[in-house]
Chain A
Amino acid sequence: KQEVTQIPAALSVPEGENLVLNCSFTDSAIYNLQWFRQDPGKGLTSLLLIQSSQREQTSGRLNASLDKSSGRSTLYIAASQPGDSATYLCAVRPGTDKLIFGTGTRLQVFP
Chain B
Amino acid sequence: DADVTQTPRNRITKTGKRIMLECSQTKGHDRMYWYRQDPGLGLRLIYYSFDVKDINKGEISDGYSVSRQAQAKFSLSLESAIPNQTALYFCATSDPHGTGKETQYFGPGTRLLVL
A4 and B45 alpha carbons, distance in the complex (Å): 14
Contact B96 A101 (CB under 8 A): no
Main secondary structure of the interface of B (DSSP, over half): strand
Number of residues in B with C-beta < 8 Å to the partner?
Answer: 27
A32 and B108 alpha carbons, distance in the complex (Å): 24
Number of residues in A with C-beta < 8 Å to the partner?
Answer: 25
B50 cross-chain contacts in A, Cβ below 8 A:
97
Q: Does A46 contact B (CB under 8 A)?
A: yes
Question: Which residues in B have some Cβ–Cβ distance to A below 8 Å?
Answer: 4, 31, 33, 35, 40-45, 48, 50, 58, 90, 92, 94, 96, 100-109
- Listed A/B pairs (19) with beta-carbon separation below 8 Å: A32-B101, A42-B108, A43-B4, A43-B90, A43-B107, A43-B109, A44-B106, A45-B106, A49-B103, A52-B100, A53-B100, A89-B43, A97-B31, A97-B48, A98-B58, A99-B43, A102-B42, A103-B40, A103-B42
Question: Which residues in A have some Cβ–Cβ distance to B below 8 Å?
Answer: 4, 9, 31-32, 34, 36, 41-46, 49, 51-53, 89, 91, 97-99, 101-104
